[in-house]
Amino acid sequence: MRPEEALDAARERAAAARAAGAYADDLSGFAVAPTDRVTTERLMEWAAIEPDTTLLRSTRRAGAPITWLKRLLLRGLQQHFNEMTAQQTRFNLQVVAKLAELDDRVSALERRDAER
C-alpha cells in the first residue's frame, strides 16, 4: 500500500469496525472549547517540564519485564535525565519571558500609535 492510500484505507477500516459494533463510545458530548489566546501564565505553566516517572510502563501483553527494564534504565540515567529536563525547562521559561516582554512592547507601541 502506498502512503497516499493509507489514510483512505484506515478510514474504511474504521467505518467497517464501527458498523460491526467497535468504537461504541458515545463521543457526541465530547468537545474541546477553542481558546482565542493562551495566557502568559498558561505558557509559563506549560514551559516547566515535570515528567511523571510513575507513568513509565509497558502496554504490551507481557509488559512487566519490559517495565522493570525501563525503570532500571531510568534509575541508571536519572542524573542525566534530570539535567536535560532542567536545561530544557530553563530554556522554555526564558523563551516565555522574552515572548511576554515582546508582547508588552508591541502593546505599548500600539497604544502610542493609537494616541497619535
Only one residue has cell 460491526, namely 20
DSSP 52-91: -GGG----STT-HHHHHHHHHHHHHTHHHHHHHHHHHHHH
Arithmetic mean of pLDDT, 87-116 = 94
> How confident is the model at residue 1, as a pLDDT?
77
Q: What's the pTM value of the predicted model, to 2 decimals?
A: 0.57
> How confident is the model at residue 27, as a pLDDT?
74
Confidence of residue 30 (pLDDT cuts 50, 70, 90): confident
Provide the residue ranges of all domains of the chain, joining segments of one domain with +: 35-115
CA nearest 45: which of 77, 92, 13, 112? 92
Distance in angstroms (rounded) separating the CA atoms of residues 63 and 94: 39
Whether the pLDDT of residue 5 is over 90: the answer is no
